[in-house]
């Protein structure tokens, strides 16, 4: 996908741009930057959730989004939280649930799962959609270190296997490097995207 952003404003206040971003299958990039700089806004634009911007988004790829808070259907069991939005088979949903360590939890409702389990469920759902590009908005924030580490390993494994590309929004450069992502940083006002020097 390719974004040529000339500018993004909220109520006349410029937040982003101009900036260019391209990401393809197999390519991993992370976008860092201070709170309020526009990281989530950029991700929403890439996801096609915000079309009110100047410029052009060209995207032929299939995209899946993982938000910081798992957005699940509270009245549906875990397995249906994967099959209903993605159209994948129940067997595939169960296979993915096992892969993210949720075997045996298929018939539980989201409220019966811990936050870490809910996040793994939303990760399984994202991969069930067979995306070309996975967009993640601080998916490991507010998890304890061990759970965050396991989620990262899991994400890396699923990315390796599927060949999907990644745009990861994060505050944490170590997390981004751990996933093998090229580091970019939003900086300035309105924010531009610059390659992080640590990326080498």
Ligand X SMILES: Nc1ncnc2c1ncn2[C@@H]1O[C@H](COP(=O)(O)OP(=O)(O)OP(=O)(O)O)[C@@H](O)[C@H]1O
Does an H or E element contain 32, and which?
A: strand 28-32
Q: Which 29-88 positions form the footprint of ligand X (CB under 6 A)?
A: 33, 35-41
Least Cβ distance, residue 103 to ligand X (angstroms)? 33
What letter does residue 191 receive in the DSSP assignment? B
Q: Cβ closer to ligand X: 33 or 165?
A: 33
User: What is the nearest approach in angstroms of ligand X to the Cβ of residue 128?
Assistant: 26
Residue 21 binds to ligand X (criterion: CB under 6 A): no
Pick between residue 8 and residue 125 the one whose CB is nearest to ligand X: 8
User: Facing residues of 38 across strands?
Assistant: none
CB 119 within 8 A of CB 139: yes
Distance of CA 146 to the CA centre of its chain: 20
Helix (H) or strand (E) holding 145: helix 145-162
15 binds ligand X per the rule CB under 6 A: yes
Q: Which is nearer to ligand X, 32 or 82 (CB)?
A: 32
- Of the two residues 16 and 166, which places its CB atom closer to ligand X in the complex? 16
Instruction: Kindly give, in sequence order, each residue whose CB lies less than 8 Å from that of residue 42, ignoring residues fewer than 6 positions away.
Output: 16, 21, 31, 169, 186, 193
- Is 197 one of the binding residues for ligand X (CB under 6 A)? no
Question: Where do contacts with ligand X occur on this chain (CB under 6 A)?
Answer: 10, 15, 33, 35-41
């Amino acid at each position: 996908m390719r974004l040529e952003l000339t500018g993004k404003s909220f109520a006349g206040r410029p937040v982003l741009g101009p900036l260019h971003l391209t990401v393809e299958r197999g390519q991993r990039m992370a976008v860092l930057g201070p709170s309020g700089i526009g990281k989530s806004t950029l991700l929403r634009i890439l996801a096609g959730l915000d079309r009110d911007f100047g410029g052009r988004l060209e995207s032929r790829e299939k995209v899946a989004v993982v938000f910081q808070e798992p957005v699940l259907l509270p009245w549906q069991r875990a397995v249906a939280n994967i099959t209903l939005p993605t159209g994948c088979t129940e067997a595939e949903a169960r296979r993915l649930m096992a892969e993210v360590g949720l075997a045996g939890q298929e018939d539980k409702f989201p409220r019966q799962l811990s936050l870490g389990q809910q996040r793994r469920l939303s990760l399984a759902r994202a991969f069930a959609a067979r995306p070309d590009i996975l967009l993640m908005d601080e998916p490991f924030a507010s998890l304890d270190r061990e759970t965050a580490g396991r989620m990262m390993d899991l994400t890396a494994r699923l990315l390796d296997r599927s060949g999907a590309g990644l745009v990861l929004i994060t505050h944490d450069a170590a997390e981004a490097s751990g996933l093998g992502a090229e580091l970019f940083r939003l900086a300035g006002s309105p924010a531009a995207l610059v390659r992080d020097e640590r990326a080498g």
